[in-house]
Structure 1
Amino acid sequence: MARRRFLQRLGLVGAAAAGSGLLAGPAAAAPKPSPPGPDPRALHWLAGDHHVHTQYSYDAMHTVAQQVAAGRRHGLDWMVITDHGHVAHEKFAVETTYADVLKARAANPSMLLWQGLEWNVPSGEHATVFFDATKNEIAALHAFEKLFDGNVNGTNHTSDANEATALAALRWMSGQIDRGAIDSALMIANHPGRNGRYTPHEFRNYRDTAPHIAVGMEGSPGAQNDGGHRGGYGNAPGGDSWTGWPSESYRTFGGFDWMTAKLGGLWDALLAEGKGWWITSNSDIHQANGSRLVRPDTPGDWYDTHGGYPDPVDSGTPQEHADFWPGEFSRTVVGTASRSFRGVMDAIRGGRVWVGMGGLVSALDVRVHGGGRPATLGGRVRVRRGDDVTVQITAHLATAPNTTGRIPRLARLDLIRGAVTGPAADRDGFTNPDVSVVESFTPRGRGPVLHVEHRFRNVRDPFYVRLRGTDGHRSNGLEPMMDVQGAAAPWDDLWFYANPIFVDVV
């Protein structure tokens, strides 16, 4: 009753919040057309991590303060704490975590820090969910977990009814924005191919129900130091898996999820509709590799009765784990018009994002010219049929060693073009046959900057362009290789990917 009064007092839920009445609410109104994107020259590029666990997850151990300190040490500007949705988490940990987040914000004013949630998506997998940190963020988070988390309300398994609950959750978030209870919300699907739980039509339904909230997926998962299988991608189809996925979709390729890494695959199929579906990367950290910290011994039911673990203690011996510290290996770099909570969220929502591993590239500038102001990542240009379109790329190469003590070297940068063909006839389709690498660029000499240009002449039909790059250590021709089960070596197979820019032809 106390929790219910807490939620009602903040005006985020009504009397139906504890039952199913809210799930049947009307769909949110269509979002307003997006205003023109910011001038690429005015953007600030900030590195971050949207998938970080702490001692308040049932399978993690580090404190909020330790995660934030590590993020700062590895050059991050923003982070999202995303502890697992769980009955004990909802009951005990939401406000306790928030107190730690507020302390960490005060101690680290240069770090933009959110408290989010790793949502157990009904009928799906996991997803990052977080709200703008300027209004009622904790009340919204608590209400959302109580109402819609699959572990809390028993809607994890695959079914049409549970799929509908996931869409109701998106409409609920959108409705809270419409009524002014919160300012902004985002959902990003985590490790999408790991268990085969997500279907292509679910991604399309999420995006079409709330395109201002459900904006994309992890292009590369965390847990990259899992020596058996990068990202924990060593699974096979289960009872809740979609039967349409091929066997290779359960593996990573160069550390990237097959849905992203496969040229002409699921990611390209979604982009072929001419709508944004952006990729990100993160640490998904639970226990940091190389840290001397360990969780103190506790009774087996400790988490269920406390919603968290005691602070970790120093064992005196470096520990081997699957996870890197935030920013140590993977990062999501966003182009924002302002260094603010809303600025970062708007950048993610707008697709102004590139992701990289191991410090392979330190900065990236992409501009597409086709008349009028150029567009950058996530943007679009509008040209007349028969016009030329020019892509200009500037990549700042690594000049400092990464954790291994080596300076990574970019061996090749690929410019990829994909056709835009409109809405998918098959909502479960996951291929786009008209996608290709149109040009590959190789850095010459040892200079710190690679600047290249490509011109599409006499364009006739709409398309998009996107980028990827590699250190060249493992590839199958131009394509990344499937990571070797039992022998993954993340530092020896580095890639970066950038989100697309659309070219509309009239």
Structure 2
Amino acid sequence: MNIRADSPFSRRARWTLLACAVALSACGGDSDSDPVGGGDPDPAPPVARSGGWTHGDLHVHTFQSDDAQVSLESVLDDGFDRYQLDWMALSNHLRLSGRDHTGTSLQGGAIPFSRGLVDYEKPYVEQAQAEGRYQGKTVFSTVEWDMPSHDHVNIGIGLDDPYGEDSLRAVAQFEYLFTNRDPVLFDPALVASLSDQTRAYSTHADSLKALAWLRDRHPDSYMLLNHPNRYMNKYTVAQLREMNDLAPEIFFAIEGMVGNQMEPDRGGYVEAYTDANLTSRTYGGTDYIVAKLGGPWDALLGEGRRIWTVANSDYHFTTAQGRYSSGYAPGEYAKTYVWLEDDARTPADLLAALRGGRLFGVFGDLIDALDFQAEGAGDGAVMGGELSVANGDQVTVTIRFRSPESNHYEYPLESGHRVNARPVVDHVDLIAGDVTAPAAPGDAGYAEAANPSTRVVARFNANDWTVGEDGFATITHTLTVTGDQYLRLRGTNLAPNVAGETVDGEPQPDRKVDLGNDAARFDAINARNYNDLWFYSNPIFVTVEG
């Protein structure tokens, strides 16, 4: 729905000193490392465009998820008014819920999500619209589904009109068909209308059936893979290929920059901290699938698959009962930026833009704009796009980014006291990988989770970019194309070698913050997160003609 009405040496004290130091040095620092690769002094002309960057969150919970502790009103107020998001996807669990959107217990007992959507979420959003709140903002409903035999995915159904009657009915149908809810919880007429369809909620094959159902019946829908490696062996890369082959317009995104960043185990990645479980850790807050250079995401991109990465909050609460912490509010720490054309602000517009791939994810407001383009032989392409060139042609890559004056780092946590630390990019990596034909099911390559060709083509620091009056840092780099490839970016506030954080520029596994004092633990987690900021772009594909 488019809402338009527009102790001194105690452990605690030591962490206090650390956090104060972080306030001065975290979120920034210049690098003295030498650049890698050559530069081009003349920027390529910008690709013609209209529109601008918008930012939002695709993974936000409210009281209607029984593990959340925030009202719908507070979520929207924080996201839209306090942190100035442009759009937001509400994504409560596709489970039974015993509370309404305000946290009030339901007298008749728990109800299915689809009923709570109709009885509570939709009316509140419509009321807010009628009252003229959240002017110019876009909000819509999705569900976080316990995908059979896997983990959580967000399903957005019917984005042409997400609160319309047809979409609401489709959500109820999906919940009935692809969960084990008792049929008596649903409208008998809806159950009767689905008598010719078999319920499916146990196996990987059932997951594929649900994907096909969305593809065939509700193509204005999507599936987002949430915190994919939170638990070991929940997905194989072959299964990801299978899902993308089955429904490429439905499954095209991975929550690589995961939410729940205020968990002691960053992102809620709670598998034992052993070498055997290193794939089930975050690296600079980012899931291994995306953070590992030449890892699973690069293996998928190396087949030319249009699978993008996003950044979300997975917001349930920040702290609760003074004992627990979970994640940041929507817009506070994690953002996904999506380029939207002028006057294109509906959920359907957002879905089209997400599919197009002109988007990037960022933590802690390290940057708030990123123009990334490749230009050759008079043609150009931006993130998500494809540039066609002749073998041996030179391609000029232009990178323009901007950092805001400050981010939302607070000390102490939830005190309202802004540190006003300015985020500073230390370096930006231009990464390339070769693209080959997609592996076929049954081939050995279908299970390949690595792309050995992936490499850092160039590393740029402040010695390599110029900053204009508009605050944008500009980098150019020229490379010679000798085969099909993709180009992508990552950037960080950390130098390439920081003990416990980076080695030769590669992010290292995040460590658990394990302090007995609750408040000290909260502040230490917060300092950890704001001292370790990243952004990841999505790729540009460069294809050799013929």
Shorter-chain TM-score tier: 0.7 to 0.9
Q: Does 1:494 align with 2:533?
A: yes
Output aligned runs, 1:353-502, within 5 Å: 353-404=359-410, 405=419, 406-424=421-439, 425=443, 426-444=445-463, 447=467, 448-457=471-480, 459-472=481-494, 474-486=501-513, 488=525, 489-502=528-541
> Of 171, 179, 188, which aligns to 2:212?
171
Q: Give the counterpart letter for 1:200 in structure 2.
A: V
Q: Equivalent residue for 2:260?
A: 223
Distance in 1 between the 2:67 and 2:128 partners? 22
**CA-based RMSD:** 2.4
Secondary structure of 2:381's counterpart equals coil
| 1:454 shift after superposition | 1.2
Q: Does 1:51 align with 2:76?
A: no
Distance in 2 between the 1:137 and 1:372 partners? 44
Q: Equivalent residue for 1:114?
A: 140
Q: Is the 8 A contact 2:423 2:493 kept in 1?
A: yes
Distance in 2 between the 1:110 and 1:399 partners? 25
Q: Does 1:138 align with 2:175?
A: no
Residues 272-307 of structure 1, C-alpha deviations (whole Å, 9 max, x = no match):
101111111111011134xxx87xxxxxxxxxxxxx
| 1:247 shift after superposition | 1.9
Q: Which has the higher contact order (CA 8 A, sep 6+)?
A: 2
Secondary structure of 1:225's counterpart equals coil
Distance in 2 between the 1:149 and 1:81 partners? 20
Distance in 1 between the 2:182 and 2:453 partners? 43
Q: Is the 8 A contact 1:85 1:120 kept in 2?
A: yes
Distance in 1 between the 2:201 and 2:503 partners? 37
Q: How high is the TM-score relative to the length of structure 2?
A: 0.74
Q: Does 1:41 align with 2:41?
A: no
Q: Is the 8 A contact 2:361 2:537 kept in 1?
A: yes
| 1:57 shift after superposition | 0.5
Q: Is the 8 A contact 1:375 1:501 kept in 2?
A: yes
Q: Give the counterpart letter for 1:115 in structure 2.
A: S
Output aligned runs, 1:15-34, within 5 Å: none
Change (3 A) 1:199 1:100: farther
Output aligned runs, 1:125-274, within 5 Å: 125-131=151-157, 132-134=159-161, 135=164, 136-149=166-179, 162-177=203-218, 184-196=220-232, 197-226=234-263, 228-236=264-272, 247-274=277-304
Q: Does 1:322 align with 2:326?
A: yes
Q: Is the 8 A contact 1:336 1:346 kept in 2?
A: no
| 1:340 shift after superposition | 2.2
Secondary structure of 1:361's counterpart equals coil
Q: Give the counterpart letter for 1:103 in structure 2.
A: Q
Q: Is the 8 A contact 1:414 1:437 kept in 2?
A: yes
Q: Equivalent residue for 1:335?
A: 339
When structure 1 is superposed on structure 2, of 128-137 and 184-193 the one drifting more is 128-137
Q: Is the 8 A contact 1:402 1:408 kept in 2?
A: no
Q: How high is the TM-score relative to the length of structure 1?
A: 0.79
Distance in 2 between the 1:211 and 1:231 partners? 27
Distance in 1 between the 2:201 and 2:261 partners? 26
Distance in 2 between the 1:446 and 1:144 partners? 52
| 1:151 shift after superposition | 7.0
Distance in 2 between the 1:415 and 1:402 partners? 28
| 1:133 shift after superposition | 4.7
| 1:370 shift after superposition | 2.3
Residues 431-476 of structure 1, C-alpha deviations (whole Å, 9 max, x = no match):
000011111111259953210011112x221000000000016311
Distance in 1 between the 2:279 and 2:201 partners? 21
| 1:402 shift after superposition | 2.5
Residues 46-101 of structure 1, C-alpha deviations (whole Å, 9 max, x = no match):
10101000110011121222111111111211101111111433364231222223
Q: Does 1:280 align with 2:310?
A: yes
Q: Is the 8 A contact 2:93 2:113 kept in 1?
A: no
Distance in 2 between the 1:497 and 1:374 partners? 21
Change (3 A) 1:133 1:67: farther
Change (3 A) 1:118 1:475: same
| 1:44 shift after superposition | 2.1
> Of 63, 69, 86, which aligns to 1:61?
69
Distance in 2 between the 1:246 and 1:40 partners? 48
When structure 1 is superposed on structure 2, of 134-143 and 426-435 the one drifting more is 134-143
Aligned pairs, number = 425
Q: Is the 8 A contact 1:98 1:138 kept in 2?
A: no
Q: Equivalent residue for 2:188?
A: none
Secondary structure of 1:146's counterpart equals helix
Structure 1: state its 5+ residue gaps. Answer: 1-37, 178-182, 238-244, 295-317
Q: Give the counterpart letter for 2:350 in structure 1.
A: V
| 1:149 shift after superposition | 3.4
Change (3 A) 1:152 1:217: farther
Q: Give the counterpart letter for 2:533 in structure 1.
A: L
Distance in 2 between the 1:39 and 1:124 partners? 41
Change (3 A) 1:412 1:345: same
Q: Is the 8 A contact 2:201 2:207 kept in 1?
A: no
Q: Give the counterpart letter for 1:409 in structure 2.
A: V
Q: Is the 8 A contact 1:468 1:495 kept in 2?
A: yes
Q: Is the 8 A contact 2:178 2:201 kept in 1?
A: no
Structure 2: state its 5+ residue gaps. Answer: 1-45, 97-110, 184-198, 411-418, 515-524
| 1:270 shift after superposition | 0.4
Change (3 A) 1:48 1:360: same
Distance in 1 between the 2:433 and 2:148 partners? 32
Distance in 2 between the 1:462 and 1:347 partners? 24
Secondary structure of 1:427's counterpart equals helix
Distance in 2 between the 1:49 and 1:211 partners? 22
Secondary structure of 1:79's counterpart equals strand
Q: Which has the larger radius of gyration?
A: 2
Q: Is the 8 A contact 1:170 1:206 kept in 2?
A: yes
Q: Does 1:123 align with 2:167?
A: no
| 1:403 shift after superposition | 2.5
Change (3 A) 1:439 1:150: farther
Secondary structure of 1:375's counterpart equals strand
Secondary structure of 2:350's counterpart equals helix
Distance in 1 between the 2:503 and 2:541 partners? 28
> Of 105, 121, 127, which aligns to 1:103?
127
